[in-house]
Amino acid sequence: MRKRWLAVAGYVGAALTLAIAALVPFVLMGGITQAVAHAGLRVDEVYTGGTVARSFTRNGYLVSVYEPVQPRLLQRGGPFVQVVFSPASGLPSNVDELIDLDGDGQPDVRVRFAVPGDARASLHGAVQALNSRYRSVEPIGADSFTQLLARTGDRIVLRIPLAPRR
């Protein structure tokens, strides 16, 4: 009888331990979230594209030009400038834009791409550099993190690579 009682107590203890182990992350999640929020952690600019430097409106859509992003020492990829077109639903079927990336009043690149009706279709286009600070890329798609043309939700994200420094 005692052996049977010990076996039942052991199984009940094991089941309670598993239940507590499964529930602890949910109970502590609020505290963990607050600790991370107060730690000042941020998503790196290589992933977010940096901060918006300037924006301008076209016929029915907004073009946001970001500050140039320089990857850090151990990060892969090269430097780039991110440009976001939003909303994608407001874009014409073929986009052909001259864009001033550095804010000097002169266009730095010419961007061309088609906007397919299907939001899940891949985008393809071309970037033509108009000065030596940027690199031309043709075709540009979602093959590289540094030179990228992709749709994210109702935005089209374009990353234009900077030319190597000389």
**Tens digit of each residue's pLDDT (9 = 90 or more) over 83-96:** 999 999 999 999 99
Long-range residue pairs from 147-154, CB within 8 A, at least 24 positions apart, any chain: 147/80, 149/113, 149/123, 149/124, 149/125, 150/122, 150/123, 151/88, 151/119, 151/123, 153/88, 154/86, 154/87, 154/88, 154/89
Q: Does residue 140 or residue 110 have the better pLDDT?
A: 110
Q: Over 80: is that where the pLDDT of 165 sits?
A: no
Confidence of residue 77 (pLDDT cuts 50, 70, 90): confident
Question: What are the strands of the beta sheet with 62-66, ordered from one edge?
Answer: 52-57, 62-66, 80-86, 155-161, 148-152
Contacts of 146 (CB under 8 A, 6+ apart): 77, 78, 79, 80, 159, 161
Q: Over 70: is that where the pLDDT of 64 sits?
A: yes
- 89/93 Cα distance (integer angstroms): 10
Q: 143 near 75, Cβ under 8 Å? A: no
Every domain of the chain and the residues it spans: 1-41, 51-161
Structure tokens at 159: 């990353």
Q: Over 90: is that where the pLDDT of 111 sits?
A: yes
- 25/31 Cα distance (integer angstroms): 10
What proportion of the chain, given as a percentage, has pLDDT over 70? 99
Contacts of 114 (CB under 8 A, 6+ apart): 93, 94, 95, 123, 124, 125
Q: Over 80: is that where the pLDDT of 1 sits?
A: no
Confidence of residue 16 (pLDDT cuts 50, 70, 90): very high
Per-residue pLDDT at 115: 92
User: What are the tens digits of pLDDT across the range 27-50?
Assistant: 788 888 888 788 887 888 888 889
Per-residue pLDDT at 166: 65
Q: What is the DSSP letter of 95?
A: E
